[in-house]
Structure 1
Amino acid sequence: MNTLVFDAVSRASLRLEARLEFLRLLRTPGFSVPVLLFPLMFFLLFGVLLANPRSKLQVTQYLLATYSVFGVMGPGLFGFGVSVANERDKGLLALRRALPMPALNYVASKLAMALCFSSIIFVLLALAGAGIGGVRLAWEQWLLLGLVIVPGVLPFCALGLLVASYCSGQAAPAVINLIYLPMALLAGLWLPLSALPAVFQTMAPLWPAWHVAQLALAAMAQPSQGALTGHLLYLLIFTLACGGWAARRLQREP
């Protein structure tokens, strides 16, 4: 009986903490405005307004997939990288260790926050793509694309947590931006890799964003590279490696 009561209390505390974490960042304009609006603005600008009329539909479909990936990178990298780094500086992680609450709630609530933001970003881009960009997909393709994009935030959550385990709150935004923007370019999220030098095309499989983008393109029946199992295996190993490394680093702190 005591175990059942403890489990119920743990679930309730997790739901409350996840809700509060989401609302906290939603009400922080420095986080919510760029995370939610920049991917949409870039997609409408480059995928709809400035697209070559002769290949507009193809460009719009490609950029819908890739800017969706670009969008979900934000909640993972900044929601973990900057947020956790700031909370480390303030001593909140040390305080939480002394509180009578499940240790995993901290990370789980931030994961729930990142998944919620990713869902909103995907819905905004999907509505813009269908309503303004003229993208037409079967409902199964929309569903499959969402199942790729929304959980696609997880590798970037792990990477953001790893950055936060090493960086101070003041340094974390600069480090995250040095990862975020170059990776988006080198993974082919802003323009096809064929427009970049050959060396960057060869290096593309190193970046998790490239693997998520290839899965997204495949979900839309667009040309993609690599095998499904290879992409999933890379992303699983990358997420577990970064997350495990960050966890060990944070556990060693006083």
Structure 2
Amino acid sequence: MDTIALAATPAPWRSYLLEAKCEFLRLLREPAFGIPVIAFPAMFYLLFGVLLNKGSGGAAQYLLATYGVFGVIGAAMFGFGVTIAMDRERGYLRLRRALPTPPGALLLAKMAMAMLFATIISLVLALLAATLGGVSLAPAQWAGLFAVNVSGILPFAAIGLYVGTLVGGNAAPALLNVLYLPMAFLSGLWLPLSMLPDWLGRLAPAWPAYHLGQLALKVVGHDEGRAAWLHLLVLAVVTAAFFALAQRRLAAAE
């Protein structure tokens, strides 16, 4: 009995790994997702952080932090929102309930996928910043930016998941863009909030992207000075609230 139990123990973990691999390959083979998610932050950083700010190390550091956050937010929101909407619309989620898969395997696979894309985005931007942008950070700062980016997918994965439970596969990209692009701009991810009208700057803390951006900027010394625990608290509340709303929607659809 003990031998059989030991032999069966790795099976759930193998299922989780295979699920994550399939999810990653699914999106990697979809050019409409993989190319924009990885290339757009890099292109924007090359244009605004390198070409238009040549010789300005502070601007290159600022935009390294904010475009990293911009990229991982897109990977999380679209990776969850669009795929969940399509899977729900096609009946795939209902089919999965009848399959002998470990609990939560699909969500964990999507989370692993988003973290992997966040890792790729972070490494590409770090390479561009160090080679072309003239950015020089301490090892702890590079590690801090990476940690903020990878862990920062959680609240935006929750938002994407909730959006995916609201609309179908065709409407999800449009609705996510309506949320994603204005939120990024109004949170100071494209340019410093000081360059926006004062009233827009005062409204920035209402956006979760602002709080993740401030955590990244704190790593490179360009944040507005608010306590890190406040940003973490807001992001934790957003994560819990939207995951709960999405779970309720999915449960009601069963």
Q: Please tell me the TM-score bracket, short chain as reference.
A: over 0.9
Q: Distance in 1 between matches of 2:111 and 2:145?
A: 20
Partner residue, 1:125: 125
Q: Distance in 2 between matches of 1:207 and 1:16?
A: 35
> Is the Cα–Cα contact under 8 Å of residues 64 and 125 in structure 1 kept in the other structure?
yes
Corresponding residue SS for 2:152: helix
Partner residue, 1:247: 247
Cα-to-partner distance string for 1:3-36 (whole Å, 9 max, x where unaligned): 6555421111000110111111111111000000
TM-score normalised by structure 2 residue count: 0.96
The count of residues paired between Structure 1 and Structure 2 equals: 252
- Worse overlay, 60-69 or 2-11: 2-11
Q: Distance in 1 between matches of 2:225 and 2:167?
A: 34
Partner residue, 1:157: 157
Q: Distance in 2 between matches of 1:4 and 1:231?
A: 43
Give identity over the alignment, percent: 50
> Is the Cα–Cα contact under 8 Å of residues 68 and 125 in structure 2 kept in the other structure?
yes
> Is the Cα–Cα contact under 8 Å of residues 54 and 133 in structure 2 kept in the other structure?
no
Q: Distance in 2 between matches of 1:193 and 1:100?
A: 50
Q: Distance in 2 between matches of 1:205 and 1:183?
A: 11
**Which stretches in structure 1 are left out of the alignment for 5+ residues?**
none
Q: Distance in 1 between matches of 2:106 and 2:54?
A: 46
Partner residue, 2:199: 199
Corresponding residue SS for 1:252: helix
Deviation of the 1:72 alpha carbon: 0.2
- 1:20 aligned onto 2:22: yes
Q: Distance in 1 between matches of 2:195 and 2:224?
A: 16
Aligned pairs (5 A) from 1:1-254: 1=2, 7-51=9-53, 53=55, 56-254=56-254
> Is the Cα–Cα contact under 8 Å of residues 97 and 103 in structure 1 kept in the other structure?
no
The amino acid that maps onto 1:39 is P
> Is the Cα–Cα contact under 8 Å of residues 115 and 150 in structure 1 kept in the other structure?
yes
- Worse overlay, 173-182 or 148-157: 148-157
The amino acid that maps onto 2:138 is A
Corresponding residue SS for 1:141: helix
Instruction: Please provide the CA RMSD for this pair.
Output: 1.4
**Which stretches in structure 2 are left out of the alignment for 5+ residues?**
none
Distance 1:8 1:63, change over 3 A: same
Distance 1:191 1:162, change over 3 A: same
Deviation of the 1:201 alpha carbon: 1.0
Q: Distance in 2 between matches of 1:3 and 1:102?
A: 17
> Is the Cα–Cα contact under 8 Å of residues 187 and 193 in structure 2 kept in the other structure?
yes
